[in-house]
Amino acid sequence: MIDEIMKRLYRIVVPLPNSPLKDLNSYVIKGEDRNLIIDTGFNRSVCYEAMQQGVAQLGLDLNKTDFMLTHMHADHTGLVSRLASETSRIFFSRIDSRVFDDDKSWQPLVDFAEINGFPSGELQKALDSHPGFKYSPKKKPRFTLIDDGAMIECGGYRLQCIATPGHTQGHICLYEKDKKIFFSGDHVLFDITPHIESWAYTTNSLADYVASLDKVYDLPVDLVLPGHRNFFKDLKGRIDALKAHHRERADEVMDVLGSVSLNAYEIAAGMTWDIDCETWADFPIAQKWFATGEAIAHLRYLEGEGRISRNAGQKIVTFQAVHN
């Protein structure tokens, strides 16, 4: 499905089967000399067919088309190697590009999940079912690396790259100042809450995310174009709601902890989740992985606030509330 948003700006809706995200919004700017595609979908046939149909309907010449990837997740990067031509530039965050430099980049995540209580016997199954593991580009794309403040111009649109770490460390949003359009990637979504996870104690992704929300809060914006689901207009109102949501989730983690010591997997099992399962045991293994990562992000945030402490001197890391 293709939507015309305004002059020279379109959306291709790319289905994401078996994903709670449902679809990806791939945005297209048609220029006179070159085109720009923002995000691509999973590296799987149903996504490729949708993108190919959209490209054909819009009459795009992929030899005259560049790509902008808002962040490293496979639902945004997966197809870029199959769609890009030899003449395509692929704009991508310098920070997120590092994940493509290491063929063994998943192993530290697996090891970290294990020390945070994820059952060792389920780790390989969790990895095999992870969409990022299954549907990423099969070969490393040739990137044009960008940083905060870079400008991308196409079809009368001047897009300012804004670094917004949180959803990933290298997440980038795009801002068109004159038209007051904000391409939010997965930084700000309207119908669903962006997933914030942490797979290292050296980062505090939720604190980064909140700071990134504050960074874009005062931008004059008339239209937000997110990576998933519906467009919206009230950027400030949505940011306020997202910050309130994470405060509530942090308080829920404190309630789950109570006066006992628990690991992240156990805490995730005690939290509430918007998923059609009666018990934690019924969760698909991939959703247990995402839930554990989100629990760790909130634990790191609470640790940074001094509300909990981490007990790392043992095989499985546990957390407990700090009672003043």
| Domain ranges (residues) in the chain | 2-104+142-242
| pLDDT at residue 150, rounded to an integer | 98
Query: Measured between alpha carbons, how far is 318 from 309 in angstroms, rounded to an integer?
Result: 9
pLDDT, tens digit, 9 for 90 and up, residues 77-125: 999 999 999 999 999 999 999 988 866 578 888 999 999 999 999 998 9
Query: Measured between alpha carbons, how far is 257 from 261 in angstroms, rounded to an integer?
Result: 7
Q: Residue 162 above 70 pLDDT?
A: yes
Q: Residue 220 above 80 pLDDT?
A: yes
First vs last Cα of the chain: how many Å apart?
A: 56
Question: What is the mean pLDDT of the segment spanning 20-39?
Answer: 96
Q: Is 117 exposed, middle or buried (0-12, 13-18, 19+ CB in 10 A)?
A: buried
**Other CB atoms within 10 Å distance of the CB of residue 200:** 13
Element (DSSP H or E) covering residue 265 = helix 264-270
Q: Is 101 or 185 the better-scoring residue by pLDDT?
A: 185
**Other CB atoms within 10 Å distance of the CB of residue 245:** 12
CATH architecture of residue range(s) 2-104+142-242: 4-Layer Sandwich (3.60)
Q: Residue 281 above 90 pLDDT?
A: yes
Query: Measured between alpha carbons, how far is 33 from 154 in angstroms, rounded to an integer?
Result: 9
